[in-house]
């Protein structure tokens, strides 16, 4: 819970009285409780933090006379005149506690001082004004930080929610029309390729966010996933028209979307500081069957594309040319398959360590 807001309170004294000046404008709904030992003050007004609820409690150094005391509310401030209870004397301080409160200030406008101490009081007044300026700057900085945090939460929540909606559409459409109704892949492909492409393009934000410090996770893992998926989707699949009707694509897209249907709600809840144990468990568990299946169908998609690229020679670069470099797409696809086979165990090990860290059994103390 946020700490209560304190108004700035200026105080001064004479031998018989203590005066308080509460720096609040347009005060409404005052709740004031004055006893011999303390003053409790709570109102709604305009202060350093704008229109808000402000409050404070003062436990006096010595007792006061509530019956002989009074207060007055004006448009610009609230004034108290508190009668000291007992012999007329100067208090060494206002509050029972010696702890200094940053919102409690000496009212230099009402303070009576000797000529010999005038320079000292001027110095103290200058220090007071400097401290007030620092407090204002601190409040502005804190307000800016809170606004940035709220904006960041909103941005991350909206991004993850929209990605979840996109992959939900892909998963539901393929499940209903391809798996259940037996619709041809070419027709299904035409319905889901645009939302899938949009989701994959905007996934670049998952690489940018860690680099900008918006999230605290590393950028390497999302970079590898973003690069790998987009190479498969935009270079291999969308680069060859004959790939459109291959059923293997449906199963690949179903696996991708199944992973994201859990991952994005998990991140969406994290962005607003919430957690669902069911979603967290799925996030760290569902990869166990889906990641190997995803690697398998990525390899099958590349394997399916090899004859097409071998016949079309698309993307090939043959000698001689201006760069004196050759490139064969078919060979590249074979190398890519070997790379997936080599990298998948490391990825699985990384995910297993994450799961153990989150749900691993605790060591028993004997």
- The pLDDT tens digits of the residues spanning 241-294 come to 999 889 999 999 999 999 999 999 999 998 888 889 999 999 999 999 999 999
124 or 155, higher pLDDT: 155
Average pLDDT of the residues of the chain: 87
What architecture (CATH level 2) is domain 9-110? Answer: Sandwich (2.60)
Across 87-91, 118-122, 229-233, 238-242, least confident range: 118-122
- Please tell me the predicted confidence (pLDDT) of residue 185: 83
pLDDT the model gives residue 101: 87
Q: Domain boundaries in the chain?
A: 9-110, 152-306
Name the DSSP class of 95.
B
C-alpha distances out from residue 327 to 230, 315, 330, Å:
20, 8, 9
d(CA 168, CA 163): 8
List, for residues 169-220, the tens digit of each pLDDT value: 999 999 999 889 888 888 889 999 999 999 999 999 999 999 998 888 888 8
d(CA 124, CA 130): 10
User: Which two tokens mark 232?
Assistant: 């498969």
Phi, psi of 155 (to 5 degrees): -60, -50
Secondary structure class of 85 (helix, strand, coil)? coil
pTM, to two decimals: 0.60
pLDDT band for position 122 (cuts 50, 70, 90): low
Query: Are the beta carbons of 287 and 261 closer than 8 angstroms?
Result: no
DSSP secondary structure letter of residue 116: G
How many CB atoms are closer than 10 A to CB 253?
A: 26
pLDDT band at 75; cut points 50, 70, 90 = confident
Measured distance CA(74)–CA(319) in Å, rounded: 89
- The three-state secondary structure class of 327 is strand
290 three-state secondary structure: helix
| Cα 73 off chain centre by | 41
Nearest to 42 by CA among 60, 51, 29: 29
Q: How close are the terminal C-alpha atoms of the chain, in Å?
A: 38
Which residues are catalytically annotated?
A: 291, 298
Spatial contact of 287 and 294, defined as CB atoms under 8 Å apart: no
Closest by CA position to 25, among listed 7, 42, 10: 7
For 316-342, write each residue's pLDDT tens digit: 998 888 888 999 999 999 999 999 999
DSSP state letters, 30-84: EEEEE-SSEEEEEEEEEETTEEEEEEEEEEBSS-EEEEEEEEEE-SS-EEEEEEE
């Amino acid at each position: 819970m946020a700490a209560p807001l304190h108004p700035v309170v200026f105080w001064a004294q004479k031998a018989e009285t203590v005066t308080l000046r509460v720096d609040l404008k347009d005060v409404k709904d005052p709740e004031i409780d004055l006893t011999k030992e303390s003053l409790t003050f709570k109102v709604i007004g305009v202060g350093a933090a704008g229109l808000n609820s402000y409050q404070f409690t003062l436990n006096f150094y010595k007792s006061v006379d509530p019956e002989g005391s009074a207060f007055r509310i004006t448009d610009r401030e609230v004034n108290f005149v508190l009668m000291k209870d007992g012999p007329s004397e100067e208090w060494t301080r206002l509050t029972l506690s010696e702890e200094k409160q940053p919102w409690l200030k000496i009212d230099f406008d009402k303070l009576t001082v000797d000529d010999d101490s005038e320079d000292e009081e001027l110095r103290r007044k200058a220090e007071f004004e400097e401290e007030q300026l620092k407090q204002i700057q601190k409040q502005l900085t804190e307000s800016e930080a809170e606004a940035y945090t709220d904006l960041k939460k909103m941005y991350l929540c909206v991004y993850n929610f929209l990605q979840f909606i996109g992959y939900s559409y892909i998963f539901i459409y393929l499940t209903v029309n391809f798996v259940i109704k037996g619709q041809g892949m070419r027709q299904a492909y035409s319905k889901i390729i645009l939302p899938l492409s949009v989701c994959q393009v905007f996934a670049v934000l998952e690489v940018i966010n860690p680099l900008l410090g918006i999230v605290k996770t590393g950028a390497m893992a999302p970079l590898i996933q973003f690069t790998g998926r987009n190479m498969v989707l935009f270079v291999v699949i969308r680069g060859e028209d004959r790939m459109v009707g291959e059923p293997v694509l449906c199963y690949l897209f179903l696996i991708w979307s199944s992973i994201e249907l859990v991952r994005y709600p998990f991140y969406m809840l994290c962005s607003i500081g919430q957690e669902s144990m069911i979603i967290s468990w799925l996030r760290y568990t569902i990869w166990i069957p889906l990641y190997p299946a995803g690697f398998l169908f990525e390899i099958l998609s590349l394997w399916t594309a090899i004859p097409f690229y071998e016949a079309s020679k698309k993307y090939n670069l043959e000698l001689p040319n201006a760069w004196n470099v050759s490139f064969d797409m078919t060979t590249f696809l074979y190398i890519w398959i070997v790379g997936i086979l080599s990298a998948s165990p490391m990825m699985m090990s990384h995910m297993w360590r994450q799961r153990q860290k989150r749900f691993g059994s605790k060591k028993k103390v004997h």
